[in-house]
Structure 1
């Protein structure tokens, strides 16, 4: 009687353990990147910058975001904020906040209501580009920001600096790190959002793995003109993957700026968590399907390895009696899968530890305190958040409808958006 596990299970467990080790390596590399220092903008290349931020509705941290955009340590820049209507509650907040910064050049634009086949965010961004393009120099830089992502005062300098290294990078990007808000650190769904988001954030690093994120990305006006970015935004709901694809088609690299990580305060209910996650993965499936299928395959591999290894060990312990087949035979049957399980557990702990080390170099102590519960889930509850993560990705496999800021949309094609009534 053979005591070896079936070959297919052996290969599956090897792939599972290899994936866990490689995932730890990716996070390790990410932690080294965030410890590095960004280079200053050269004195001979100090381009004019325009920070573009579309707004809709009154985000809890909108005023703070506008204030920080006006307090950047970069000298030559302007702030361009776009809202659909003066009746939007965000309009008064932005207007009053900008009025306090009389020395900072700024524009508050009203874009009007988008047509039925336009996304509200890209509609506002197109309005900003139309406003800027006539007077923009090719050497100028456009920097895109989100209203719910509050940057520090060095953010703009760090986003622009890599673009000043001639010929190396066409686009720079940061990313969000979801932080449970004060008073919400014990919320299960907020913790899950934080952990899952951190697993995505740590994939940034090597140029080929990077993609632009709309809440913190920058490019030269020359690239925007060459790639016809303005018209690429027409009819789309998600702008960052569109900009990312444009850069790749033109042979430009996307540079991840570790110091561009933004602590984004978050609070989720079960419903808002699933709406948010569904929107992110549906965008990925529609606008960058290769990345979506890769993510789905990796999560299926992890769960298949976990379930099969533990099920096999349980089967051996419960059904194979040492008195019947001998103790050495039982140990031979459980030895290899037990080693694979132990390898994955060790890799999970190392990955969580390195992720914790990484954020210590980016965020201050109050933010770390807000992340403690989420970091415990990262270390001890990998199978829990990976299961939820897999369900979220599988859910995006069906249909093309989503809810965003209370409005229902359908994405029939990457360059088409339909706003649904009711």
Structure 2
């Protein structure tokens, strides 16, 4: 009975691993194909919307990068909850560094029934008025290269494309928590590709204003928490596609504490469970099957070694090596794709450490994901930048409490070094 059950579980996990490996191969082919495509000459008036709360570690670099995009006609609006946010002063300081800066600011109000991020975005959109033809979205901890906006916007005129998205690649420092965050985040990346199931990432996203208004995104945001989930849902409800643009993959630097990683990962999983429950259940099933399929053979191998049981050693070792090998092979495909996407980009070389760990340690990420799945399944309450929220549905959010001082003071103002950028010929230079 034991061996029958063991064999069934092992076969199922190996089959899932083979399917996952095939998905990794598709992802790499797509990235390599898209990386050979130059941006289209399509460059309508665009406004970059940057919601801020508190000073992120690289915010000055983010602002300088946005102010120096290789794009003919665009503006940048940084939106804040309050004039007391120290990030507002930093934005104005960076804008004053150069004549003709494209940076302006908008002040929203404290959110009462939706996320503060959406509240800030709505204030920025209202300030932009009818001028822009395209809305581009970026997070305050993302530092895009000079051609980021051009590549992102140039995907929008493609057939049936309603939104264009990039993604993030966390570059770890030298802490285990940073490495784990890199691995945990990397798993979702290979879900993107040339298909109709792409998600949007609000840290690197663009949509035409005409479609944004026609799809009623502002209405969907009325009481929502996640801006990018609603953009993706509006896109698919309109029969359109989300185009993944690998040139808009953004390396994000810095190491979180274990508490910060737990809070971040649990929040992402809660948002997924509420907004896309089928995806959350699929992730839970994969996590459970991989955990059993990986640790079961390992324990069997160790037990066999302790008892001198050759059959247990063989059965555990073969299954363990197969599962681990499949995981490493998929991670190697992802490494190849990410290396191609970041080659020659600012921060691309530093991503090498994360890529190394992605290959050799990614099969262990399910170990960290298992308790996160449980924690995200038992409650829909979480904290985000000094505010406690409860997600009751994709379109209904409750603000439970606020501690804005903690959010504003979470990092100190940093004077960033000159930002290395990418010119149209691929050469790096200082600003």
Pair in the same fold by TM > 0.5: yes
Structure 2: 5+ residue runs without aligned partners? 403-431
Gaps of 5+ in 1: 322-329
| Partner residue, 1:325 | none
Partner of 1:281: 269
Within 5 A, what are the aligned runs for 1:188-199? 188-199=176-187
Moved more, 205-214 or 339-348: 339-348
Please give the residue correspondences for 1:7-406 in structure 2 after superposition, counting only pairs within 5 Å: 7-36=4-33, 37=35, 39-43=37-41, 45-114=42-111, 116-136=112-132, 140-165=133-158, 167-180=159-172, 185-314=173-302, 331=311, 338-363=317-342, 367=347, 370-371=350-351, 373-406=353-386
Judged with a 3 Å threshold, the aligned counterparts in structure 2 of structure 1 residues 373 and 99 are, in CA distance, closer, same or farther, namely: closer
2:103 and 2:295 map into 1 onto residues whose CA distance is: 56
Q: Deviations over 1:175-213 (max 9, x none)?
A: 111112xxxx22111110011111222321132341000
Distance 2:162 2:56 in 1: 31
Contact 1:73 / 1:157 at 8 angstroms: preserved in 2? yes
Q: How far, CA to CA, are the matches of 1:248 and 1:349 in structure 2? A: 33
Q: 1:40, 1:161 within 8 Å by CA — same for their partners in 2?
A: no
- Cα distance in 2 between the residues matched to 1:47 and 1:378: 38
Deviation at 1:71, TM superposition (A): 1.0
How far residue 216 of structure 1 moved from its aligned partner, in angstroms, is: 0.6
Moved more, 9-18 or 93-102: 93-102
- Contact 1:159/1:172 (<8 A) preserved: yes
Cα separation, 1, equivalents of 2:258 and 2:211: 41
Do the aligned residues in 1 keep the contact of 2:166 with 2:205 (CA within 8 Å)?
Answer: yes
CA pair 129-262 structure 1, distance change in 2 beyond 3 A: same
Q: Post-superposition shift, 1:79?
A: 1.3
CA contact (8 A) 1:192 1:374 kept: no
Cα deviation digits, residues 23-61 of structure 1 (max 9, x gap): 223223323333332644544x43211111111111121
Which protein shows a greater Rg? Answer: 1
Supply the RMSD in Å over aligned alpha carbons: 2.5
Number of corresponding residues: 400
Distance of 2:271 and 2:205 partners within structure 1:
17
Maintained 8 Å contact 2:108/2:120: yes
Would the aligned equivalents of 1:284 and 1:291 in 2 still touch at CA under 8 Å? yes
Q: CA deviation at 1:336?
A: 5.7
Tell me the CA shift for residue 367 of structure 1: 4.6
**Distance across 1 between alignment mates of 2:308 and 2:93:** 74
Q: Where in structure 1 do 4 or more consecutive aligned residues deviate above 6 Å?
A: none
How far has the Cα of 1:128 moved from its partner?
A: 1.8
The structure-2 alpha-carbon separation of the partners of 1:48 and 1:371, relative to structure 1 and needing over 3 Å to count, comes to: closer
Per-residue deviation, 1:277: 0.9
Counterparts of 1:369 and 1:132, CA distance in 2: 36
SS in 2 for 1:164: coil
DSSP 3-state at the match of 1:189: helix
Instruction: For 2:9 and 2:359, locate their aligned partners in 1 and report how far apart those are by CA, in whole Å.
Output: 23
In 2, the alpha carbon distance for the partners of 1:364 and 1:249 equals: 35
Q: Distance in 1 between matches of 2:81 and 2:2?
A: 62
What is the CA deviation profile of residues 326-350 of structure 1, one whole-angstrom value per residue up to 9, with x for unaligned ones? xxxx65x766654433322322232
* Higher mean C-alpha deviation, range 233-242 or range 250-259: 233-242
TM-score by length of 2: 0.85
